[in-house]
Amino acid sequence: MPFCSNCGRQLEENEVCNCRNQQNTAQNQTPPPPTNANVQPGFQQYDQYGRPLFTPQGQPIYYDAQGNAIVGGQKKKNKSGCIIALCVALFVFLVIGAVLAAILVPAMLGYVRKSKVHSANINAKTIAVQFDSALTDIEGQGTPIDGKYIICSDRSDNVILDISEGFSVDTLYSKAKLYGSISDYDWFVVIENGKVAYAAAESSGDEDDYVGTYPTSSDTKRGSPTYGGSYINNIDVDLDDLYDKALEAFYY
């Protein structure tokens, strides 16, 4: 009994095996077209089954297990990898934020402190200028202004060591008010030989405010401060401390 020389199957008498025709048919078969009707093949790129990978508009095409086309879809990503990447990015952000805070916060606090000290010194200088102007007015009216005395916002703290005949402290207060308010601060001025030798001031009722002095340790217009202007650099020193220091130097 004959056998097929190609597949080895036993044949009947005069039978011709069609195994070669079946192989040719299988080789010429193409996979079924995508079942999604909105996919239009022809965008140059195809997968191994001849299915288009992009729409004519350039949108990506993916296929599920059943061969259905998914236009514009995305392949599944590794979620754990995304979470790890997000955690790493967050950690780096926090580290950078901490470093910047460590650098900027002290600098900002130092700037705020310097700004408050500068503002307090301006207040003290304003008081000094007002009383200098008042003394000039009084002298211009023919009243001697020589002497040595401390004038304060609280008049009970005034100290008169030496004063010229005819000079009135009340007049000095009145004249100073003409050049601006003297009630916005707690202050004292030390007057020697007709001019303000030293002044200190702080905002009234503000215990956390800085005390300003004039002249300050950096002010060279009137020479080095006699009454402890450099104490302004100590934030624990208040107006009463400066008054005691000034009073001590006043009697020296």
What span, in angstroms and rounded, lies between the C-alpha atoms of 249 and 252? 5
Q: Give me the pLDDT at residue 66, please.
A: 73
Mean pLDDT, residues 209-223 taken together: 65
> Which pLDDT band holds residue 23 (cuts at 50, 70, 90)?
low
pLDDT attached to residue 106: 75
Q: Where are the strands (E) in 88-227, listed by range?
A: 147-152, 159-163, 185-192, 195-203, 212-214
**Residue 234, Cα to own-chain centre: how many angstroms?**
27
Percent of the chain with pLDDT over 70: 69
How many Å apart are CA 124 and CA 159, to the nearest integer? Answer: 19
d(CA 15, CA 3): 10
Omega before 215 within 30 of 0, i.e. cis: yes
pLDDT tens readout for residues 123-153: 889 999 999 999 999 999 988 888 889 999 9
Cβ count near 227 (within 10 Å): 22
* Sequence-separated (6 or more) residues with CB below 8 Å from residue 131: 151, 172, 176, 189, 191, 196, 199
Residue 121: exposure state from Cβ atoms within 10 A (0-12, 13-18, ≥19): buried
Closest CA to 231 of 127, 204, 248, 150: 248
Domain ranges of the chain: 16-74, 118-250
Place 45 in a pLDDT band, splitting at 50, 70 and 90.
confident
Compute the distance between CA of residue 204 and CA of residue 115 in angstroms, rounded to an integer.
18
pLDDT averaged over every residue in the chain: 75
Q: Using 50, 70 and 90 to split pLDDT, how confident is the model at 175? A: very high
pLDDT tens for each residue of 77-90: 556 678 888 888 88
What span, in angstroms and rounded, lies between the C-alpha atoms of 217 and 211? 14
